[in-house]
Amino acid sequence: MKIVIGSDHAAFTLKAFLIDHMRKKGIEEILDIGTETESLPCDYPDIAFRLGEMVVQRKADKGVLLCGTGVGMSIAANKIPGVYAAHCHEPETARMSRRHNNANVLTMGARVLSPELAAEILDAWLESDFEGERHLRRLSKISDYEQKICPSCSLSEKGKTIVFDHPLVQHKVSIIRDKNTSVKEFRELVQEIAGLMVYEITRNLPLEKIQVETPLAVTEAYALEGKKLAIIPVLRAGLGMVDGILQLVPNAKVGHIGLYRDPETLMPVEYYCKLPGDIAERDILILDPMLATGGSASAAISLVKSKGGKKVSLVCIIAAPEGVSKVHGEHPDVDIYTAALDSHLNDHGYIVPGLGDAGDRLFGTK
């Protein structure tokens, strides 16, 4: 875990105390962005903005901001789209700010807390994880609002949308669109399309040199470097893409996220989440054949990020422009790979022309 910490002059001593405390707890990556002295007054917004931007740009996993009361830091940091700063006086609020609000910045006051209590609050905050589920829906209302009032305000790196125009992919997509395609053929084709897409998506995975002994000689060869891929299907329909990818990348770890779209509100409802323990170190591909309103995909990405995921891409087969805008608006750092970008959504949130309900067509449940 990488923590960035900053304070103004009033909380300089508390900052030093908490850095020492975190080191003793085994947190190795701590970025101290100042201030450097308590004798020279500085302005808390300067520190808050710098730290907040680092958190949003994922240069650190979480941030800690300290000033006299913690209030100024919290007000300033919360101006940054994508920062969710929680101002805490006791451990339970800190715990809940992670579990329910997915707070990515903690603010505290050096003039109102003893160093020991501040350390206790910090521990409670760092040790608690976001619980997702109904809280995801609420947070997505906040990010929707941020997006509505300022669509271009995001500070994260810009993600790309890559539409696969390979003839083999296009040919297979035409067949799965056909309402007369059988469940068996639909399932096989979704696997094949996912495999073809991942062949291209993984083009830039890093390689390392290894030595291999052939029957004739020892030679230099290449293997994929370090921790590699994690694929995360969004249940149900994302499951249809898993085997096609595992055939090519058999060592990829597989996580699962259970989400369905409430038919009335079209809002995502989370019912399951199990991710690989080393998710932070892997390139992550979230799989879902359909990107319609983008509610499900955006919620899935938020969940993965809240569990430590950093390099996240979304792989779908058919996307609607509405879904692409939502995902790029809320997660501008995420690349979207799709085999087709369709025209629009109908009144029920279905992609037109699309292919109908992907889960039903994969599993024959209509």
233 is a contact residue toward ligand PRP (CB under 6 A): no
CB of 230 to ligand URA, least distance (A): 23
The residue among 247 and 365 lying less far from ligand URA, judged by its C-beta, is 365
Q: What is the DSSP letter of 235?
A: E
The residue among 200 and 360 lying less far from ligand URA, judged by its C-beta, is 360
CB of 344 to ligand URA, least distance (A): 11
Residue 236 touches which of ligand URA, ligand PRP, none (CB < 5 to 8 A by kind)?
Answer: ligand PRP
The residue among 240 and 244 lying less far from ligand URA, judged by its C-beta, is 240
CB of 327 to ligand PRP, least distance (A): 9
Closest CA to 106 of 186, 22, 178: 22
331 is a contact residue toward ligand PRP (CB under 6 A): no
Residue 206, classed as helix, strand or coil, is: coil
- Strands 105-109 and 62-67, by their bridges, are parallel
35 is a contact residue toward ligand PRP (CB under 6 A): no
Which residues are catalytically annotated? 261, 265, 357, 360
Residue 58 dihedral angles phi and psi, to the nearest 5°: 60, 35
The residue among 30 and 235 lying less far from ligand PRP, judged by its C-beta, is 235
Of 5-13, 38-46, 190-198, 235-243, the segment contacting ligand PRP by CB under 6 A is 235-243
The residue among 146 and 322 lying less far from ligand URA, judged by its C-beta, is 322
CB of 306 to ligand URA, least distance (A): 24
Binding residue for ligand PRP (CB under 6 A) from 266, 281, 311, 321? 266
Place of tokens 């609607």: 320
Radius of gyration, CA atoms only, the chain: 23
The interface with ligand URA within residues 299-358 (CB under 6 A) comprises 349-351, 354, 357-358
Whats the size of the chain, residue-wise? 366
The residue among 197 and 292 lying less far from ligand URA, judged by its C-beta, is 292
- Strands 318-319 and 290-291, by their bridges, are parallel
Q: How far apart are CA 338 and CA 290, in angstroms?
A: 9
The interface with ligand PRP within residues 161-220 (CB under 6 A) comprises none
Per-residue contact string for residues 291-320; x = within reach of ligand PRP by CB under 6 A = xxxxxxx-----------------------
280-311: string of b/e by CB count within 10 Å (b at 16+)?
A: bebbbbbbbbbbbbbbbbbbbbbbbbbbbbbb
Q: What residue number has its CB nearest to ligand PRP?
A: 359
Calculate helix-pair angle for 134-149, 321-330, nearest 10 degrees.
Answer: 90
- Contacts of 37-45 with CB under 8 Å at 24 or more apart are 37/9, 37/12, 38/9, 38/10, 38/12, 38/13, 39/9, 40/9, 41/8, 41/9, 42/8, 42/9, 43/8, 44/8, 44/72, 44/73, 44/76, 45/72, 45/76
Tokens representing 260? Answer: 């369905």
Q: How far apart are CA 80 and CA 169, in angstroms?
A: 40
Binding residue for ligand PRP (CB under 6 A) from 50, 260, 281, 310? 260
Of 76-84, 137-145, 148-156, 286-294, the segment contacting ligand PRP by CB under 6 A is 286-294
The residue among 252 and 291 lying less far from ligand PRP, judged by its C-beta, is 291
The interface with ligand URA within residues 235-294 (CB under 6 A) comprises 237, 290, 292
Residue 110 touches which of ligand PRP, ligand URA, none (CB < 5 to 8 A by kind)?
Answer: none
Tokens representing 240? Answer: 């249809």
Q: Residue 219 pairs with which residues in a beta bridge?
A: 212
Using CB under 6 A as the criterion, which residues of the chain lie in contact with ligand URA when the complex forms?
237, 290, 292, 349-351, 354, 357-359
Give the residues lining the site for ligand PRP (CB under 6 A).
Answer: 234-237, 259-261, 266, 268, 288, 290-297, 323, 349, 357-359
